[in-house]
Chains A and B, each alone.
Chain A
Amino acid sequence: MEQPRRITDSFPRRLRRRGPGRPPGRLKDKKDKKDRDKDQDKVQVKVRDCARSPSQPAPDPALLEMLRRFDLCWEYGPCTGITRLQRWERAQELGLSPPGPIRDALLEHRDNPDVTYRWVGMGW
């Protein structure tokens, strides 16, 4: 169970000096701060369903970049809330002729949630 995301994660973190006699619950914040520093540069928040299985080869960043550009193409409709494969099939049925290599890549890396993901916005 990963840490619940907060809306303040995307705000810049300001370090505040606290005097002695900290209010209770401070220890929990300390643990969160460590996680937050790791992904401070992330602007989008994605919900990951499960950890990536280490046995599969990691998809190269060029492929992920191509998939991200497919997501942002306005011709194929909205990309939120459905998997990339569902979006590709829908575009195919509506006759918008989406590029074939995208589908091959999606089917090849079917188990990888980074590749197939459904973009879920914050708070859903």
Chain B
Amino acid sequence: MFSEQAAPTAQGLLAPPSAEPPTFPRVPVSGYSDCSQPFQLGERSFSRQYAHIYAVRLTGMRPRLERRARSRWGNDIALRKLSELQAGEKCCVVGTLFKSMQLQPSILQEISEEHNLVPQPPLPKYIQPSDELILEDELQRIKLEGAIDVQRLVTGTILAVYGSEQDDGRFLVEDHCFADLPPPLPWNGPSSDRFVLLASGLGLGSVSGEALLSTQLLVDVVTGQLGAEGEQSCAAHITRVILAGNLLSQNTQSRDTINKAKYLTKKTQAASVEAVKILDEILLQLCTSVPVDVMPGEFDPTNYTLPQQPLHCCMLPLASAYATLRLVTNPYQANLDGVRFLGTSGQNISDIFKYSSMDDYLEILEWTLLAGHISPTAPDTLGCYPFYKSDPFILTECPHVYFCGNAPHFQSKLLQGKEGQRVLLVTVPDFSATQTACLINLRDLTCQPITFSGFGADSED
């Protein structure tokens, strides 16, 4: 762990302890500002349809796409609406994509009694060669064919297509483009080494307790109770810890108590109660030493639809006594020491994974940034709040660090944009499976994984 930076003259663990125990003050918190106000919902009203969010998404992203289309295919191309299309004329159309998939789980098929069908089991991917792409704008829709990768794209993306309408009513695409990277933010990063620890998928409350040792090692490293003085002084450079979702394990979500009779389940406690108590104790240890941002995830006790609201502080009585604990929304956006962080707990990326041929989480993360939208599949296949005024998932500024939690592996990439954007893309791995967290250096936007595995039975051979 930052072993290159450990002071070479520092005492190793085999030396006797120094006469005066040294103290390492943690680097002080200098600019922090929370920018996730668009994701915080006040009063929620679900009596609206989802047409509003699609309309606002298209209207909001249309100017940017028209600018991109003009810069790519020439200033004099014809920008047409679908109602103004003429057969054979080469033009550009901006619209929302819809992918009609045969295997997409549909509630209507499930409740269709005449067919007596068993609902289909959840599949890892729902794509099929017979899927079709349809472009919709405010009034009409048209089928797309041609130079466009049907398997790769997902519903809800706003894109511009260049081509012409055929005689059979389909649109032959010659080229297409997305909104591309949003405009860059000015860089105010720190001049000295400062680290942020990103971890996700702690998975507390699971049946096996192996991950608890790794979690305790993580807490000990961050609070400076592990390692010799070299490692402790390096740990003092960690300014913040962000826990990106799935603090509770999927096992806490067992639903068999619903099917059992009430007299059998009266005294059983929900599994999540015990898990939240463990979480509270872990957060207490962390909060005494470092500011912690806790984002909810798919299996955490908060609402299901995106944007997920912060966990309630009454669940964490011990840890919420400290001001260093911040319970934040999913997605989360904040300015840490002049560096803009934006990230989710991974539900948007795993939903795109299910409906697209893209297999690599880092590739999907980069694609969402280039498409200009955090989660285009919401509200089609991912639950979403029915916004009507504006779509808060549209990326208006390019963040410096863009992460997603609960990925299968750790991956990171520094993306450079044409307008001077520099984005560090990080896929934070699931801690309960990989025991790996990420350390991001804010000075030069580098990222390194840090693994906390204990000695298990499989390492003896």
Contacts and interface: CB of A to CB of B under 8 A. Distances in A.
Interface of A: 74-75, 77-78, 80-82, 86, 89-90, 93-94, 96, 120, 124
A77 B59 contact: yes
Nearest to A81: B48
Contact of B47 (A75, A96, A124): A124
Contacts of A89: 389
Given A82-B388, A93-B389, A94-B59, A77 B52 contact: yes
B49 A78 contact: yes
B454 interface: no
A89 B52 CA distance: 14
Given A94-B60, A124-B47, A82 B138 contact: no
4 pairs of A and B residues whose beta carbons are closest in the complex = A81-B48, A77-B55, A78-B51, A94-B59
Contacts of B56: 77, 90, 94
B59 A81 contact: no
Contacts of B389: 86, 89-90, 93
Contacts of A75: 138
A51 to B, nearest CB: 22
Contacts of B55: 77-78
Nearest to B388: A82
29 contacts: A74-B138, A74-B139, A75-B138, A77-B51, A77-B52, A77-B56, A77-B59, A78-B49, A78-B55, A80-B48, A80-B49, A80-B51, A81-B49, A81-B52, A81-B388, A82-B48, A82-B52, A86-B388, A86-B389, A89-B389, A90-B56, A90-B388, A90-B389, A90-B390, A93-B389, A93-B390, A94-B60, A96-B59, A120-B47
Contact of A78 (B47, B52, B60): B52
Contacts of B51: 77-78, 80
Nearest to B55: A77
Contacts of B139: 74
B134 to A, nearest CB: 19
A122 to B, nearest CB: 13
Interface in B444-460: none
Interface residues of B, number: 14
A94 B139 CA distance: 18
B64 to A, nearest CB: 13
Contacts of A80: 48-49, 51
A55 to B, nearest CB: 30
Interface string B51-83: 110011001100000000000000000000000
Interface string B382-396: 000000111000000
A16 B139 CA distance: 43
Interface in B111-145: 138-139
A96 B305 CA distance: 30
A96 B58 CA distance: 13
B251 to A, nearest CB: 38
B80 to A, nearest CB: 16
Contacts of B390: 90, 93
Contacts of B52: 77-78, 81-82
A80 B139 CA distance: 16
A47 to B, nearest CB: 11
Contacts of B60: 94
Contacts of A78: 49, 51-52, 55
A89 B389 CA distance: 9
Contacts of B59: 77, 94, 96
A121 to B, nearest CB: 9
A91 to B, nearest CB: 9
Contacts of A120: 47
Nearest to B60: A94
A94 B388 CA distance: 12
A11 to B, nearest CB: 25
B317 to A, nearest CB: 39
A53 to B, nearest CB: 25
A75 B48 CA distance: 19
Interface in B172-206: none
A77 B50 CA distance: 12
Nearest to A96: B59
Nearest to A90: B389
Nearest to A82: B388
A119 to B, nearest CB: 11
B47 A81 contact: yes
A82 B60 CA distance: 19
A89 B388 CA distance: 11
A84 to B, nearest CB: 13
